[in-house]
């Protein structure tokens, strides 16, 4: 988890002064650059688990199972199954 860091200790003085024109003593969040972001569930394996489940759901539909039947198998709503089926 991220920790609090004092901008005065890490930013150049001119940059700090520019930021202080907009933010005065407030706490702000500075997000990681896009190339540093990790997709949801990548670290703990959840992403892979749901990708496999969604792939299985699409396969069941291709094999003729109804949306309602699939919903019963996976304990999901029919709407959730439709969303999974309509995704890439």
**18, two tokens:** 């520019």
Q: Quote the pLDDT of residue 5.
A: 86
What is the Cα Rg of the chain in Å? 23
Q: What is the pLDDT of residue 36?
A: 67
Residue 64 region by backbone torsions, left for phi larger than 0, else alpha for psi between -120 and 50, else beta:
left
pLDDT of residue 2: 60
- DSSP assignment of the chain, as one string? ------HHHHS-HHHHHHHHTT-SS-----PPPGGG---TTTTTSHHHHHHHHHHHHHHHHHTT--HHHHHHHHT--HHHHHHHHH--
Q: Which pLDDT score is estimated for 43?
A: 84
**Mean pLDDT for back-to-back runs of 10 residues, the chain (88 residues):** 81 94 88 75 89 97 97 97 93
């Amino acid at each position: 988890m991220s920790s609090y860091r004092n901008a005065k200790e890490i930013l150049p003085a001119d940059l700090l002064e520019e930021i202080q024109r907009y933010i005065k003593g407030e706490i702000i969040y500075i997000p990681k650059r896009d190339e540093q972001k990790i997709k949801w569930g990548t670290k703990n394996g959840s992403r892979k688990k749901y990708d496999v489940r969604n792939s299985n759901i699409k396969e069941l539909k291709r094999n003729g199972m109804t949306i309602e039947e699939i919903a019963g198998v996976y304990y999901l709503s029919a709407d959730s199954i439709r969303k999974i089926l309509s995704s890439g």
